[in-house]
Structure 1
């Protein structure tokens, strides 16, 4: 795949992490600005997740009907406009609505970049490309909170969203100039009227569902970590808030590193083999984390080791699961990508909510959800081994 394609797809894949993590430091400021509390400001984040889950279901069939380029341009333009609307929000209700629209635009890149990779690459090459795209997805959670905090301190919270709009505008120009239509010309456009039928067919496709659930449930474990780690690190074990980013960033660095290692590993054995192997690593480290959390140790350090291994192993699990799920979906790559993304984000959001529901003042809820996700993901990956990828 040409380098310029990789750079454009990488930038598009950063929309989600940036739009989520970039404005997290501004929650207390937004609460004061709109005379409310942080819990109500968090509704803007929930609105974004809902928009991502729903929007991906629409972009998939549209990309199969009209090609990849036009829906992508429309989605990125919508994200740009909605980002400006967020920056101009006079009330929290306005911000929540604008964030929902922003998600509807941003998920175009998440859906269509997977379809573009499927258009241009076989399963082995796809696993390598997805591993390279994870580099951007892993760096964004490290850099976004730091950049958002800097903008908040120097220019004010609206510039967080102005910056997102400017970034999206550059991406829009890059797509317009350098990303051509990639849907093979011999493929007949899929009618929109058949979208629900295609989704039913995907639900009945055992290979697609097995690998999609393996990746989705594994991603849910990461969301459980994201939801539970602030309490565990800062409140339970007394890590200073300004040091939280370093711990979070070190785990994200492990995720990025293993994704790059995965690009080399898949040359020997293929993505399905390494998915099965690495999901076992994820499960074992999750169980170790659960045991240590149940002991309620006085020190955080023993927990950090299995936690790091869990997050790092996902750098192999997620790109390989995606590559395996998308294999064989060429004629309906857009629909498959949209369904895959919606499924993964829905399961992941449910895991985050489960951590909050089980909250008992210890690290046990986070560890329990991570370990359960590891067990389910392992079962799905190994059950899917009957399907040749």
Structure 2
């Protein structure tokens, strides 16, 4: 168990740091209709947050490797507080969008440093266990955040949702200020600063495999997040209140799946664990596809398939995120940032393509949401049963030789 200089276990800080993302996004979703009513528009403030979060990870990773994790993390938390508080006072949608973009940059700083610190503090084989535990905490917050956000909007208004984000970040800032010591390994003054960048990161076969795993599973899930309101509310006729239980149920399954992931890692190791996860992901997507073919107006195959896909997702994310940086401890910040950027880029592009097939008459039914998940399931199976075994054989050849 790794401890900070002040004695607080890092494993307790990690889920709180990772959970800053659903606090900034999931709790914000119930506020969108009221923001649109007050300011005239709302979607731009969410879009620029996602884009800023994805792009900012690249320079943040470089800065975290050069300046250290602690100053970048503390700076990100301070910026998160300022942007959220200022956003609560935004007079128009343009100002709100700009401040949400700043919050996206702050979010990138927090997540990159949190994930890089896992590699700083733990050996590569322990990383997936630690990330799974942290993502379990994230799942709990993701389950609660939209419910809490909706309650705040109903009783106090959308501006207090942003104020609550700021309060969360203030508490987290105080904890990290006193408990998060610098995790970047100390280098001898005579040792040059690592200069590896994009070329060295992508030259790592381990990085390419594991980051592809994380990007594929998130790309499939993102299409659900983006298009499920249109499928369940617009196409199948669910009420918004009833629909809200669907992503909440997915989050509950995700929590259970990250717990299962830790047990599978101990019993089976990462390679077998990922194969189990890929099988679940593809099975979930196939169940949905069969529902689209045989029962196109029934929600049950979609719900069952989504639950199974989420079980696979809860296995892939800890393994993919930790594995992408496992082979690059000296470039942990940059490896984490490029992995996160690739994941967001794949999700954004896939989501835009899938959304282009949705029309007002829902001509294609649920297929725009389901088809990308099927593709993701197939890719995950190829990674798990073809690409990862090749990496495993390569690793087994290198380890005895080094011994």
What's the TM-score, normalizing by structure 1? Answer: 0.93
Residue 94 in structure 1 maps to residue 95 in structure 2: yes
Match of residue 276 from structure 1: 275
Distance change (3 Å), C-alpha of 1:161 and 1:190 = farther
8 A contact 1:82–1:98 mirrored in 2? yes
Distance 1:102 1:334 in 2: 20
Distance 2:382 2:303 in 1: 25
Match of residue 377 from structure 1: 380
Match of residue 232 from structure 2: 233
8 A contact 2:119–2:325 mirrored in 1? yes
Query: What SS class does the counterpart of residue 89 from structure 1 fall into?
Result: coil
Match of residue 31 from structure 1: 36
Query: What SS class does the counterpart of residue 9 from structure 2 fall into?
Result: helix
- Of 8, 12, 34, 2:13 maps to 8
Match of residue 288 from structure 1: 287
User: What is the CA-CA distance between 1:248 and the residue it aligns to?
Assistant: 1.8
User: What is the CA-CA distance between 1:81 and the residue it aligns to?
Assistant: 0.5
Distance 2:294 2:142 in 1: 30
Distance 1:141 1:305 in 2: 20
Distance 1:349 1:271 in 2: 28
Q: Deviations over 1:45-67 (max 9, x none)?
A: 11001111111101111111111
User: What is the CA-CA distance between 1:150 and the residue it aligns to?
Assistant: 0.9
Distance 1:229 1:139 in 2: 21
8 A contact 1:227–1:355 mirrored in 2? no
Distance change (3 Å), C-alpha of 1:244 and 1:186 = same
Distance 1:215 1:133 in 2: 16
8 A contact 2:128–2:319 mirrored in 1? yes
Distance change (3 Å), C-alpha of 1:190 and 1:92 = farther
User: What is the CA-CA distance between 1:299 and the residue it aligns to?
Assistant: 2.1
Distance change (3 Å), C-alpha of 1:187 and 1:49 = farther
Distance 2:156 2:297 in 1: 41
8 A contact 1:124–1:270 mirrored in 2? no
Match of residue 351 from structure 1: 350
User: What is the CA-CA distance between 1:140 and the residue it aligns to?
Assistant: 2.6
5+ residue gaps, structure 2, are 396-403
User: What is the CA-CA distance between 1:190 and the residue it aligns to?
Assistant: 7.0
8 A contact 2:289–2:370 mirrored in 1? yes
Query: What SS class does the counterpart of residue 342 from structure 2 fall into?
Result: helix
Query: What SS class does the counterpart of residue 268 from structure 1 fall into?
Result: helix
Return 126-135 or 278-287, whichever deviates more.
278-287
User: What is the CA-CA distance between 1:176 and the residue it aligns to?
Assistant: 0.6
Match of residue 250 from structure 1: 249
Q: Return the structure number with greater relative CO, CA threshold 8 A, min gap 6.
A: 1
Distance 2:301 2:221 in 1: 19
Residue 19 in structure 1 maps to residue 24 in structure 2: yes
Match of residue 331 from structure 1: 330
> How many residues were matched structurally?
382
Match of residue 74 from structure 1: 75
Q: Deviations over 1:73-109 (max 9, x none)?
A: 0111111111111101001000000000011011111
Distance 2:297 2:344 in 1: 34
Return 44-53 or 177-186, whichever deviates more.
177-186
User: What is the CA-CA distance between 1:148 and the residue it aligns to?
Assistant: 0.9
User: What is the CA-CA distance between 1:385 and the residue it aligns to?
Assistant: 2.4
Q: Deviations over 1:200-244 (max 9, x none)?
A: 221222221121011111111111111121122222222221122
Return 167-176 or 353-362, whichever deviates more.
353-362
Match of residue 217 from structure 1: 216
Distance 2:178 2:68 in 1: 16
Match of residue 306 from structure 2: 307
What's the TM-score, normalizing by structure 2? Answer: 0.90
User: What is the CA-CA distance between 1:351 and the residue it aligns to?
Assistant: 2.2
Distance change (3 Å), C-alpha of 1:137 and 1:376 = same
Return 350-359 or 83-92, whichever deviates more.
350-359
Distance 2:173 2:118 in 1: 19
Q: 1:184-199 residue pairs with structure 2 within 5 A?
A: 184-186=185-187, 191=193, 194=195, 197-199=196-198
